[in-house]
């Protein structure tokens, strides 16, 4: 099994590096003919890691979508972490590449500062949303999360739950980190297709966040699932997650002789391998890798299949949930100029199937925009006969040049919906938005 895991990781690394580079010098086959891919071509400069190609002052940004959004979501919604950190990281990038870098006259100093800034930003884009995702979920179930110490490449945190906390409360507190990573990757990819492209510094963040589970499983907190000590010490989020889900089903962790239940070992390995394979199936993974290692001031446009009247693209996502791992298949449509996002979801080992549709710009004027979303699911343990739904609408009010007030109001029945409480009731947020490119 270790050979299988190692082979999967090697294949993943090869695909990411190879496919993120072979498009250099090519053009995108996009919906709008004549637009060219902004992956670096011969003679262009890359400020991220290549010390030889680092003169940021010679790069002029292409006109990609850019906005900054800050929200306050109700009931400790994990969206507080994913959305606000996403904006914070864009501002962090802009502070250097659009502000400080052009003012640094010494080329060597500009190179060193740029590399350091890029590394700190990319590391932070994966780590801090994850940790605050834990905090929000822990607070959501009445507990407390605290930072113990910073130890590269991660943070040691402490979860404290009340004495009457249920097993589900413990699972929610553990999965909050990966939920935040999933929400960032999902929402960035959604905006990438909705706005017909993003700058590399934002688009690349989706890459780092979507591979967090396999990185945790096989690199950051690598454990042997056959070793009894792994399950006694609970080393790392993937081990804690699979152990709690396993116990939720009433299955034993250890055999009578003290050895680890082989079905648990298979379950742990299956989850890890699927987190790799499901990401590899998404063509966006490779393009996000190119953005992650590319120039921050450049960007990319989406690939669609079809024509100007009807076109389609897709994406695959892995997430941890209270019912076990879940696999998403997202569909991005442009029909007669209007954008739609339709997803299908499959979860295991407990039933956790779902479908959802998001439609932006339902009603759009110069001062107002209405967006709508609906989700349906069939899940074990939750809802009326295992069925549930959620409805939400988001309204954008333009109050000044480029400034908007955002409000979201929604209702959900009992059940699992990424980042939100499993209880029924209202949810939503209020926020401010600045359209940089309007």
Burial of 350 (0-12, 13-18, 19+ CB in 10 A): middle
Give every CB contact of residue 400 below 8 A, 6+ residues apart in sequence: none
CA angle 84, 362, 184 (to 5 degrees): 25
Q: Rounded distance, CA 248 to CA 373, Å?
A: 31
Q: Rounded distance, CA 104 to CA 96, Å?
A: 10
Q: Which of 3, 109, 127 is nearest to 57 (CA)?
A: 109
Tokens of 138: 């822990």
Give every CB contact of residue 147 below 8 A, 6+ residues apart in sequence: 131, 155, 156, 157, 158
Going from N- to C-terminal start, the domains of the chain cover 2-435
> Per-residue confidence of the chain (438 residues) as pLDDT tens digits?
444 444 444 444 444 444 444 343 333 333 333 333 333 333 333 333 333 333 444 455 468 999 999 999 999 999 999 999 999 999 999 999 999 999 999 999 999 999 999 999 999 999 999 999 999 999 999 999 888 877 767 777 788 899 999 999 999 999 999 999 999 999 999 999 999 999 999 999 999 999 999 999 999 888 999 999 999 987 789 999 999 999 999 999 999 999 999 999 999 999 999 999 999 999 999 999 999 999 999 999 999 999 989 999 999 999 999 999 999 999 999 999 899 999 999 999 999 999 999 999 999 999 999 999 999 999 999 878 889 999 999 999 999 989 999 999 999 999 999 999 999 999 999 999 999 874
Written as one string, the DSSP assignment of 327-361 is: EEEEEEEEETTEEEEEEEEEETTTTEEEEEEEEEE
Q: Rounded distance, CA 392 to CA 413, Å?
A: 12
Q: Rounded distance, CA 262 to CA 245, Å?
A: 15
Do the strands 305-306 and 299-300 form a parallel or antiparallel pair, or are they unpaired?
unpaired
Cβ atoms of 324 and 348 closer than 8 Å: yes
Tokens of 8: 């999967």
Cβ atoms of 47 and 56 closer than 8 Å: yes
Q: pTM of the prediction?
A: 0.86
Axis crossing angle, helix 262-280 with helix 2-19, rounded to the nearest 10 = 10
């Amino acid at each position: 099994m270790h050979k299988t895991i190692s082979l999967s990781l090697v294949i993943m690394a090869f695909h990411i590096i190879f496919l993120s580079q072979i498009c250099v010098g090519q053009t995108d086959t996009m919906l709008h003919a004549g637009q060219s891919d902004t992956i670096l071509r011969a003679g262009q400069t890359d400020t991220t890691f290549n010390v030889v190609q680092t003169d940021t002052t010679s790069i002029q940004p292409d006109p990609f979508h850019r906005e900054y959004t800050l929200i306050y979501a109700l009931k400790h919604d994990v969206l507080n972490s994913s959305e606000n950190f996403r904006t914070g990281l864009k501002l962090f990038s802009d502070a250097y590449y659009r502000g400080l870098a052009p003012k640094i006259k010494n080329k060597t100093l500009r190179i060193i500062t740029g590399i350091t800034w890029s590394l700190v930003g990319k590391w932070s884009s994966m780590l801090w949303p994850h940790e605050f995702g834990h905090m929000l979920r822990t607070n959501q179930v009445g507990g407390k999360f605290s930072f113990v110490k910073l130890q590269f490449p991660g943070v040691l945190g402490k979860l404290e739950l009340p004495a009457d906390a249920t097993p589900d409360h413990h699972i929610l507190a553990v999965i909050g980190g990966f939920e935040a990573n999933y929400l960032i990757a999902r929402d960035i990819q959604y905006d990438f297709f909705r706005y017909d492209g993003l700058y590399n510094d934002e688009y690349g963040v989706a890459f780092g966040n979507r591979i967090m589970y396999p990185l945790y499983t096989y690199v950051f907190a690598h454990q042997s699932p056959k070793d009894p000590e792994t399950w006694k010490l609970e080393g790392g989020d993937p081990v804690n997650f699979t152990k709690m889900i396993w116990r939720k089903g009433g299955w034993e962790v250890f055999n009578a002789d003290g050895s680890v239940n082989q079905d648990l070992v298979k379950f742990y390995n299956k989850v890890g391998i699927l987190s790799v394979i499901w990401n590899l199936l998404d063509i966006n993974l490779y393009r996000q890798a190119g953005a992650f290692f590319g120039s921050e001031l450049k960007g990319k446009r989406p690939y669609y299949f079809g024509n100007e009247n009807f076109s389609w693209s897709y994406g695959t996502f892995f997430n941890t949930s209270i019912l076990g791992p879940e696999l998403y298949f997202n569909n991005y449509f442009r029909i007669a100029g209007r954008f739609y996002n339709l997803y299908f979801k499959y979860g295991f080992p407990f039933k956790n199937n779902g479908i959802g549709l998001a439609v932006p710009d339902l009603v759009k004027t110069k001062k107002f925009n209405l967006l709508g979303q609906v989700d349906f699911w069939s899940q074990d343990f939750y809802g009326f006969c295992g069925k549930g739904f959620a409805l939400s609408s988001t309204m954008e009010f333009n109050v000044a040049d480029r400034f908007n007030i955002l409000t979201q109001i929604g209702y959900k029945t009992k059940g699992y919906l990424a980042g939100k409480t499993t209880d029924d009731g209202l949810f939503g947020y209020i926020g401010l938005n600045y359209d940089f490119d309007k």
